[in-house]
């Protein structure tokens, strides 16, 4: 058994653990305008990242966008995921492929499509102009980032939920309905608790992807809107402050990990109470 696990463990160690260890070591160095980076064992970069009001706002913005996208994905995916899971039609495979299709298109291309829709002279403002409304400022706003990011990660939630709902026996829903439960009670008291693993897995996946989004915030948020992933890139490629960029990367990693565990615990407790 150990021999079977060893190749995968070695691959993870070489491709993930070693680079992360090197990045962490870099984050303890200090930035020098002349030498770019000087060797040190200092936590000044982490202190600066966590105490600077500018980066505190970026962290709060990133967390807020991730939570909004997770909540929207959960609300928008419940109905299509259930419909897809319970479908008996021969077209089910085609609909699954269509759900997967957006994942075959790069985030930059999808962001460009949203730019065409949300810009001042885009399709949405052109439609509203027919009724004498607008033009509205939709591009380069937090709303544009939330909408674009939600559209990117929504297929992950739908597919995760539908795969779990498929494992829930339909008999339990029919039995509850025969005993007088309304469709809403059947959904929230019978189906949702049994589909809890899918809800948790989909929510965590969407939250992590939203926390680490790069292309969508840059293209739809504009220069006045910054999240942690673009801030890390700016430190490495624009400012040339590699130690601080590495520290920001670990702040993003730690924030994502802590909040993922907290959200997972909160959702599991909520679903258990609902089941009870």
> Using an 8 Å Cβ cutoff, are 118 and 220 in contact?
yes
Question: What confidence score (pLDDT) does residue 108 get?
Answer: 84
Determine contact, residues 263/204, Cβ cutoff 8 Å: yes
Q: Which CATH superfamily is domain 49-275 in?
A: MetI-like (1.10.3720.10)
pLDDT in tens, 78-122: 888 888 888 887 888 888 888 888 888 888 888 888 888 888 888
pTM: 0.84
Which of 8, 37, 7 lies closest to 25, judged by CA? 37
> What's the first-to-final CA gap in the chain, in angstroms?
40
For residue 34, pLDDT over 80 is answered with no
pLDDT (tens digit per residue) in 128-176: 888 888 788 888 888 999 999 999 999 999 988 888 888 877 777 778 7
CA distances from 2 to 6, 8, 14, 15 (A): 6, 10, 18, 20
What does the pLDDT average to over 47-67?
Answer: 92
pLDDT at 7 over 70: yes
pLDDT at site 60 = 92
Asked if pLDDT for residue 266 goes beyond 80, the answer is: no
């Amino acid at each position: 058994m150990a021999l079977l696990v060893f190749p995968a463990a070695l691959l993870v160690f070489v491709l993930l653990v070693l680079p992360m260890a090197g990045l962490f070591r870099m984050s303890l160095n200090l930035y020098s305008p002349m030498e770019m980076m000087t060797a040190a064992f200092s936590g000044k970069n982490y202190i600066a990242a966590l105490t600077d009001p500018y980066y505190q706002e970026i962290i709060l913005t990133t967390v807020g966008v991730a939570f909004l996208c997770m909540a929207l994905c959960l609300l928008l995916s419940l109905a299509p995921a259930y419909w897809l899971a319970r479908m008996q039609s021969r077209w089910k495979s085609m609909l699954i492929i269509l759900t997967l299709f957006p994942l075959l298109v790069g985030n930059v291309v999808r962001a460009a499509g949203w730019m065409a829709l949300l810009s001042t002279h885009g399709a949405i403002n052109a439609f509203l102009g027919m009724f004498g409304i607008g033009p509205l400022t939709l591009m380069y706003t937090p709303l544009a980032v939330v909408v674009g990011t939600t559209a990117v990660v929504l297929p992950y939630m739908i597919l995760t939920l539908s795969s779990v709902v498929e494992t829930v026996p339909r008999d339990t829903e029919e039995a509850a309905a025969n005993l007088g439960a309304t469709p809403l009670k059947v959904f929230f008291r019978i189906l949702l608790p049994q589909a809890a693993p899918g809800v948790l897995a989909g929510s965590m996946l969407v939250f992590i992807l939203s926390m680490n989004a790069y292309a969508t915030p840059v293209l739809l948020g504009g220069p006045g809107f910054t999240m942690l992933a673009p801030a890390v890139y700016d430190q490495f490629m624009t400012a040339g402050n590699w130690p601080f960029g590495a520290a920001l990367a670990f702040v993003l990693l730690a924030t994502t990990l802590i909040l993922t565990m907290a959200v997972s615990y909160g959702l599991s407790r909520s679903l258990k109470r609902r089941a009870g």
